[in-house]
Amino acid sequence: MALRHAILAALSRGRPRTGYDLNASFNDVNDRAWHASPSQVYSELAKMEKLGLIDITERTERGRTSYVINDSGLDELRRWLLHDQPDHGIRDDAALRLLNLWVLDPADADYLLDAEVTFQRQRQFSLRHLLLSWDEEREDPDSPVWRSRRALYTLWLRQTDLMLDWLEELRTMLHDPVSPVPELLTGAIPAKI
């Protein structure tokens, strides 16, 4: 149940947030580590409030409800980090597709490659924007919260760069049946670790 911890993580930044706010970040492909659907977020917030992990700070005459994390929630976040095993189970739809391009004819494979390149370029653009615009919008750019966040954006940006290079090599490989498979960037490969 990592959604619970993703919500605690988002609230641990301090300011009260509504289900709507949280959904905005959980649904932005470019600025998130965890995806969730709106209905899931609303029902999980209700559950968490009942369990006493988060508190309601404000409920406007209109439906808008704001939540903050409380001490019990922070304890749970720390417990999760330290005592629950990280889940390295991979479910990578994009990789699964790229692995199967060879069942298509070359024109179709190329079309799918283009689509993936486009997606990665958009992500690259968004991440660059997020990294460049932090100082204008955010509260304290030198707080641990934002330092961590910027570090993660940097990782993601490097990953999109890597992916875009690799996709071009893959395209070459698919076009030319005798070209070598993309080689390693790494130098000598030790026989043992």
Q: What is the largest CA-CA distance in the chain?
A: 68
- Look at residue 125 and give the partner it binds from a second copy, DNA, none, a contact being a CB closer than 5 to 8 Å depending on partner kind: a second copy
Please state the closest distance from residue 65 (CB atom) to DNA, in A: 4
By DSSP bridging, strand 54-59 and strand 17-18 are unpaired
Q: Any contact of residue 166 with a second copy (CB under 8 A)?
A: yes
> Applying CB under 8 A, which of residues 71, 91, 136, 137 lies at the interface with a second copy?
91
- Look at residue 138 and give the partner it binds from a second copy, DNA, none, a contact being a CB closer than 5 to 8 Å depending on partner kind: none
Give the count of residues interacting with a second copy (CB under 8 A).
74
* Phi, psi values for residue 37, rounded to 5°: -90, 155
Nearest CA-CA partner of 171 in 122, 102, 121: 102
Q: Any contact of residue 40 with a second copy (CB under 8 A)?
A: no
For residues 26 and 18, is the Cβ–Cβ distance under 8 A?
no
For residues 16 and 69, what is the distance between their CA atoms, to the nearest angstrom? 8
* Amino acid letter for position 40: Q
Q: Any contact of residue 90 with a second copy (CB under 8 A)?
A: yes
> Applying CB under 8 A, which of residues 56, 59, 81, 175 lies at the interface with a second copy?
81
Of the candidate spans 14-22, 39-47, 50-58, 82-90, the one that interacts with a second copy by CB under 8 A turns out to be: 82-90
C-alpha 137, offset from chain centre: 21
Residues within the interface to DNA (CB under 7 A): 1-3, 18-21, 23, 35-40, 42-43, 45-46, 61-65, 89, 91
